[in-house]
Structure 1
């Protein structure tokens, strides 16, 4: 049994070997990489990514990254391809075949079928002298010097290199397309990531009450309004104009300074320089304001129009934080 320090050393060595493998990839890039990017950019079809074993798992991840960044892609398992799934490939599709050896039986059966249909073939391969590499139109060299596995057998550095090369393709493609965060949001409508990209302040504020008083309201009325709406604050609005804000913190500070609230009005304790945000701003921008000012709620609207509140708890509930 390894002791804790030995375990950490093994982990560090693994990461170092894999990191060195990725760094080596940059020296293996050539004109084929640029040509592949251009081919995909002007492709009037899909990218089919295939592989066998661990390479098939990497292929699935690359397909997911392509699809989420604007490059239509489909995963096809190399073993299933020769048992019927080959029918998913259309005439103009470009095929990326991933393999460490480039010589597996399934690959050797699949490649002639692809060449027969005249599909362009990219070999993302660990052996540039392999059968796959020799049959491909373009080669992405993902060869590595050593696997992180102590027996130099289990795919570790090699699959990491495949994954990194796929990411390099995806990033080049999205930058060439000038793919924006708004475009990204279209493909990620669900989950916290999507919400950070599209959820707006107004979407959250519309779910909350709109506690407000006038500057001449008594402190008692202010306390009742804050308590009733449970947002920890109330807007002070006079004649449709936002005059200020009173938070539960303002109430506590007022009680510390005064023995009686008799005669005190909202205008006596309100903050006249409240933070506010437009309803069309992204909710994640509201989070930035809350953090920078160390506050838990912010007014929605403008000086001339109070439209509600957004609270830190709203952002927590939606997974923005």
Structure 2
């Protein structure tokens, strides 16, 4: 195997060049970019993204991001457009054509065909003097002065810039549409990500036991309730059936340490419990319970609605659901 000198230096230089190009891209966001956002928002149709080579791959990623953030989009390979794929374009669509040079043979064939359909065309291009840029209705200026490879040939910096500009466009469209957490959840129902977005406390706690004692309960009753329900805690209700507090394993240990061998059989739940425990509502997202447990270094939270204890959610429940 051939040894390569200065591997770390090469990698750092690639990242430096790409980071610099991305930083310079910030200065290119202007009214022209805004016009592209408005063109898509007001079109009433979909975004059709096209390109060839590496631009096609980046275009497919942009399409995926647009779809997942509320902007209907599809990909049409520039080379396939002349073989029937132009049929996917509708009158009220917006076409985004991606090309660094804007002068490739496939792009020059595609542009007249797109103009014939009458759709609004956006050029995502580095070269503003290119055939693509001059024939587009709007320009997304994905300027990349040079690629990161020493030959200035392999699409590296240009693809990073184009992908980042696509992300900026998608998020602006998301904001403009008022896209919400619930909307995002509808488009991402699968896997751990989906569960983080849609799984709620009410989906979990009914499957757990509900240990509960009254404020007047003695130590034996408390321990038996906690042991039988196997949650390491018990809720404490007042005489009206409303939440008064919670007793955990930790509360019992602290109580024993405090009395240090003294008489404890006279103690009641009200003497041991933690008042106003950390709680969540049944309509809260399960990931919120996870954040609470992690920030407070606890293993369970009590589910409460209108001062009534409904149940418990334990860290093991969230582990089982794949949220951790």
Aligned to 1:217: 217
CA distance in 2, matches of 1:303, 1:178: 31
Change beyond 3 A, Cα 1:280–1:30: closer
Change beyond 3 A, Cα 1:191–1:104: same
Residue 26 (structure 1) shift = 2.8
Aligned to 2:317: 314
CA distance in 2, matches of 1:317, 1:110: 51
Aligned to 2:78: 78
Q: CA RMSD in A?
A: 2.3
Q: Tell me if 1:248 matches 2:288.
A: no
Q: Tell me if 1:284 matches 2:297.
A: no
Residue 268 (structure 1) shift = 3.9
Mean Cα displacement is larger for which, 232-241 or 87-96?
232-241
CA distance in 2, matches of 1:258, 1:29: 71
Q: Tell me if 1:2 matches 2:4.
A: yes
**C-alpha contact 2:36 2:140 (8 A) present in aligned 1:** no
Residue 73 (structure 1) shift = 0.7
Aligned to 2:177: 177
Mean Cα displacement is larger for which, 71-80 or 206-215?
206-215
**C-alpha contact 1:242 1:302 (8 A) present in aligned 2:** no
Mean Cα displacement is larger for which, 123-132 or 279-288?
279-288
Give the TM-score normalised by the residue count of structure 2. Answer: 0.89
Residue 259 (structure 1) shift = 7.1
The C-alpha deviation readout for 1:205-263, integer Å capped at 9, x for no partner, is: 12222111223434333333323322211112243122221112223334453477655
Secondary structure of 1:57's partner?
Answer: helix
Change beyond 3 A, Cα 1:43–1:244: same
**C-alpha contact 1:143 1:158 (8 A) present in aligned 2:** yes
Counterparts of 1:49-198 in structure 2, within 5 Å, are: 49-198=49-198
Consecutive unaligned residues in structure 1, runs of 5 or more: none
CA distance in 1, matches of 2:274, 2:34: 58
**C-alpha contact 2:144 2:158 (8 A) present in aligned 1:** yes
Q: How many residues align?
A: 319
**C-alpha contact 2:282 2:305 (8 A) present in aligned 1:** no
Change beyond 3 A, Cα 1:29–1:300: closer
Secondary structure of 1:140's partner?
Answer: strand
Residue 271 (structure 1) shift = 2.3
Consecutive unaligned residues in structure 2, runs of 5 or more: none
Secondary structure of 1:298's partner?
Answer: strand
Mean Cα displacement is larger for which, 193-202 or 161-170?
193-202
Secondary structure of 1:206's partner?
Answer: helix
Change beyond 3 A, Cα 1:249–1:26: closer
Aligned to 2:298: 295
CA distance in 1, matches of 2:138, 2:264: 80
Residue 307 (structure 1) shift = 0.2
Mean Cα displacement is larger for which, 265-274 or 103-112?
265-274
The C-alpha deviation readout for 1:140-177, integer Å capped at 9, x for no partner, is: 22231111112211100000111111112112222222
